[in-house]
Amino acid sequence: MDASPAEVRAALIPEEAAEFDREWRSVMSRAIETLDLSEVLETLASWRRVARLTVASGAEAHRAMYRRAALKLTGEPGEADEPLSRTKARLGL
């Protein structure tokens, strides 16, 4: 998937689209100052993987994947309706 940043963003669940926006603006800002696109390209590649997983599994299964990972890592199930930001915090993300 050689998706553009806009295509990647469109494939993400809303919670991660907001996260993508913050990260994208940050790396683009640094690239303007450093004239180095390597962090931009790395960030895009990372988010492309997330977008691919999201599209392949669907939004709810994608959220459930994070909950399963948090359960395995912490041994605590968390709430079924736990906000993704809290689940990711339990994962250290």
Q: How many CA atoms lie within 13 A of 49 on its CB side?
A: 5
Model confidence, pTM:
0.87
Domain residues of the chain, as ranges? Answer: 1-57, 59-93
Q: Which of 17-31, 39-53, 57-71 is least confident?
A: 57-71
Per-residue model confidence as pLDDT tens digits over 58-81: 999 999 999 999 999 999 888 878
Residue 57: pLDDT band with limits 50, 70, 90: very high
